[in-house]
Amino acid sequence: MSRPLAGKRALITGSSQGVGLATAHLFAQQGAEVILHGNQTLAQAEQAARDIGSNALGALKADLSAPGAGRGLYEAALERAHGRIDILVNNAGIHWATPLDASDTEWDNLWATTLQVNLMAVADLCRAALPGMVAAGGGSIINIASRAGYRGEDREHMAYGASKGAVLSLTKTIARQWGADGIYAYALAPGWIDTRMGPQAEADRERARAEIPIGDLAQPGEIAAMCAFLASGACRSATGSCIDINGASYVR
């Protein structure tokens, strides 16, 4: 396999399973040194780091629902990476229901937690990354958003859709404002992916497939492949773009 990421160091959030795990493995195969992240699934991230071998710089624990945890994670990763991170993949996220009939307290807490994990932690990680990337002459930021950021989400997940729409705007702003500094920022907008966040019951999976013209959920490796391509610098002019990976279930 070619090694287009050789010499690069990457932090991948939410990399104990699913898309993040697939991305960590592929980045390492393509030559990058990777830092993994987990919270309650830290043991899985640590096992993944052992499986990856010498191209893994370890796994870090961070609860991104806690304010400030994004910056703390980045600083710990920077230390693990000997002072330089070239690629940041913001993959960690939650898909919590925020029903209208929740109590006011529950509604506020669900929205606050969703926005904290899916938006504020991403913003904090980007904020922490930008000065070092500028000083180093460049870097890549890849934010995993969702088709919901464009088309909206179902009535039970308004906070999720809102958070992902904000991530898209954040990504575009970084691309526009730091492009001259060699910072390339991209967003991915998947639909259903075959992970624990996707439908699990077979009836639910069938309903999901029915709305996807190609008839199947995306695989984690497909998202990872796009992350690796963008991180390679092979198409820098795509900076600011949002890449749809949803089987044509939402076409803009």
CATH of domain 9-244: 3.40.50.720
Q: What is the pLDDT confidence band of residue 1, given thresholds at 50, 70 and 90?
A: low
What does the pLDDT look like over 119-147, one tens digit per residue? Answer: 999 999 999 999 999 999 999 999 999 99
Specify whether 160 is catalytic.
yes
What does the pLDDT look like over 62-108, one tens digit per residue? Answer: 999 999 999 999 999 999 999 999 999 999 999 999 999 999 999 99
State the greatest distance between any 2 C-alpha atoms of the chain, in Å, as a whole number: 54
Query: Residues 23, 251: contact at Cβ < 8 Å?
Result: no
Q: CB atoms < 10 A from the CB of 166, how many?
A: 18
Q: Which of 74, 160, 184, 186 is catalytic?
A: 160
Identify the CA nearest to 49 among candidates 84, 25, 79.
25
